[in-house]
Amino acid sequence: MKFLDQAKIYIKSGAGGNGCVAFRREKFIEFGGPNGGDGGNGGDVWVECVQNLNTLIDYRYQQHFSAQNGTPGMGQNRAGPNGRDCIIKVPPGTQVLAEDGETLLADLTEPGARVRLAKGGNGGFGNAHFKSATNQAPRHANPGQPGEELTIWLRLKLIADAALVGLPNAGKSTFLATVSAAKPKIADYPFTTLHPNLGVVRAGDVDFVLADIPGLIEGASEGAGLGDRFLGHIERCRVLLHLVDATSPDVVNDYKTVRRELKAYGGGIDKKKEIVALSKIDALDEITLAERRDALKKAARKTPLLLSAVSGAGVKDALFALAREISRGNAAEEEADRDASRHWQP
């Protein structure tokens, strides 16, 4: 299935049905009076989060969604049926933005959550509604109200606990394929991942979701390469595993290039907990590896992990380091929720 994380669609709620002008005309009924029914309400447009989706590909080929109009009222005091709602189903992690692409209308992270985006028009009153002692034969009814129309953006931000970042060919996809059942593209020639991949990883008793996003290059924040459009997928994660290719002649510059792009993107990504690791260590001798580890330690101000996804060296250490940070983050969030509930006063 092709991955699509952004879509622009047009939605329209249903218009309300018109009220009916009618009178009761039956043999031997002397005072019939008005009996026009009310029109039905137009259908609403809802966006709903569902579990079995992981991409917005459905909205690449269909961009117009409309709810059903309400049915006009009828004689004999029969009200028109309401129009059917239109439900737009999206995967967890989807944000709904206004046409300007900045105003947030809804943020759906849990399956089952739903938000009404456009309300259907109210149905008009029939002439039976206007009957009174001074107006016993009203000959007018209300028209139905129009529905709402708007253009929205759907933007998917993957919900992952941890994320892999680094330059292209830093070994991110190989690492993900080694530790999970995910099958990203891997080859023995230089290339970059074209769309994010997710994998479920187990470290001890902790299960977590690991995301691999396309590699960043210098100038990504200005649109170079694939740009930074995929960095939104790691805004929700708790920890970053920053892989630096140990075979690169300048590991310090590689590390700083990615850090600059993370900071330029914003969104607090550069403030997230970061675990630094040298990858592809199986391709270096011990002396060269020690030199590059020391250089990266000085630049990152932390001791980098050493790992090789091909040989398996250091992979478990990296997974357990990620699991510890995720567990700490979950515990801190639970404690904050408990504090908020204790201070809440009805």
Establish whether 227 is an annotated binding residue: no
Establish whether 176 is an annotated binding residue: no
Establish whether 341 is an annotated binding residue: no
Establish whether 199 is an annotated binding residue: no
Q: How far is Cα 212 from Cα 206, in angstroms, rounded to an integer?
A: 19
Establish whether 214 is an annotated binding residue: yes
Establish whether 194 is an annotated binding residue: yes
Establish whether 55 is an annotated binding residue: no
Q: How far is Cα 284 from Cα 313, in angstroms, rounded to an integer?
A: 13
Establish whether 170 is an annotated binding residue: yes
Establish whether 123 is an annotated binding residue: no
Establish whether 280 is an annotated binding residue: yes
Establish whether 242 is an annotated binding residue: no
Q: How far is Cα 20 from Cα 62, in angstroms, rounded to an integer?
A: 36
Establish whether 192 is an annotated binding residue: yes
Establish whether 166 is an annotated binding residue: yes
Establish whether 193 is an annotated binding residue: yes
Contact 39, 110 (CB under 8 A): no
Establish whether 104 is an annotated binding residue: no
Residues near 313 by Cβ (< 8 Å), separated by ≥ 6?
281, 282, 306, 307
Establish whether 279 is an annotated binding residue: yes
Instruction: Report the side by side order of strands in the sheet with 94-97.
Output: 64-66, 6-12, 149-156, 94-97, 104-108
Establish whether 215 is an annotated binding residue: yes
Length of the chain: 346
CB atoms within 10 A of CB 307: 27
- DSSP-assigned letter for residue 34: B
Establish whether 212 is an annotated binding residue: yes
Opening angle at CA 255, ends 251 and 260, nearest 5 = 145
Establish whether 22 is an annotated binding residue: no
Burial class (CB within 10 angstroms; exposed 0-12, middle 13-18, buried 19+) of 29: exposed
**Binding site for GTP: residue ranges?**
166-173, 191-195, 212-215, 279-282, 308-310
Return binding residues for Mg(2+): 173, 193
Annotated binding-site residues read: 166-173, 191-195, 212-215, 279-282, 308-310
